Amino acid sequence: MTSNQIHGDPGPPGGKYRGKSKILALIAFLLLAFASVRYTPLSEYLNAHALHGLLDRAGFWAPLVFILFYTAGVCLFVPGTVLTGIGAAIFGPYRGFFYVYLGAMAGSVVSFYIARTLGRDFAASVAGERLKRYDRAIEQNGFATVLYLRLIYFPFTPMNFGMGITRVRFFDYFLGTAIGIFTGTFVLTFLVGSLKEIWVSGNWTGLMSPKILLALLLFAISFLIPKLAKRIRGE
């Protein structure tokens, strides 16, 4: 295997045709993903009540089923905030964070490899010299680029697929994602899970509890992270 092939560059002439067939497969996958969420029964489970019933039937395997559901949802372009909110509402702030984080990481890896397998050859074959320079820059600064984009809350699934067609190293992508989504995921699951516990208990005085105030404070601070990341990046 040549160096070009390792990085997904087109290589021999036949590679260009393989790249076109793969990009058509990727486009077909994306269209099917959109249709499956919009026009199939899958959309019925995109709320905590319906999914809770499914997880109840799963019993001991409920956490694994949820993680797989989250992974599939990411690949099908279901908004991460929706999936995270559902997980927090079902499992609470702490277990919810753990399962949501695992599902988000698994989804980011699977969608990255779908794009890397189906889209990289075509992207390499049509990239102009300027795009190739950006491609090489991402390869050399992959971790910092991924971490920065995660911290400024760049749309989750589009970034997964977009990074898959670049030359970013998988380890840089994985580590940048793992660190970059940690805070935002924790804050959202902690806030939604804590509010759900108060709603279930009916003890509305808990809205003024230190736990909820801490959750709101963390939620507010999370909006400052993108601004801080941009300022550091600019400097």
Q: What is the reported pTM? A: 0.79
Where does residue 51 rank: exposed (0-12), middle (13-18), buried (19+ CB within 10 A)?
Answer: buried
pLDDT in tens, the chain (235 residues): 444 444 545 444 555 566 677 778 878 877 877 776 666 666 676 677 778 887 888 889 999 999 999 999 999 888 888 899 999 999 998 999 999 999 999 999 999 999 998 887 777 676 667 777 888 888 888 999 999 999 888 899 999 999 998 989 999 999 999 999 998 899 899 888 888 877 776 666 666 677 777 777 877 777 777 777 667 666 5
Helices 156-164 and 142-151 cross at an angle (nearest 10°) of 160
Instruction: Give the range of the structural domain holding residue 230, as residue numbers without chain letter.
Output: 3-234
Which pLDDT belongs to residue 109? Answer: 97
Which pLDDT belongs to residue 6? Answer: 41
Angle at 184 between CA 87 and CA 214, to 5 degrees: 90
Residues contacting 21, CB < 8 A, separation 6+: none
Which pLDDT belongs to residue 209? Answer: 72
* The residue to which tokens 């924790």 are assigned: 186
Query: Could you give the number of structural domains in the chain?
Result: 1
Distance CA 145, CA 139 (A): 9
Sign of CA dihedral 160, 155, 62, 96: positive
Give the pair of three-digit tokens for residue 186: 């924790």
3-state secondary structure 50-64: HHHHHHHHHHHHHHH
Helices 80-91 and 48-58 cross at an angle (nearest 10°) of 60
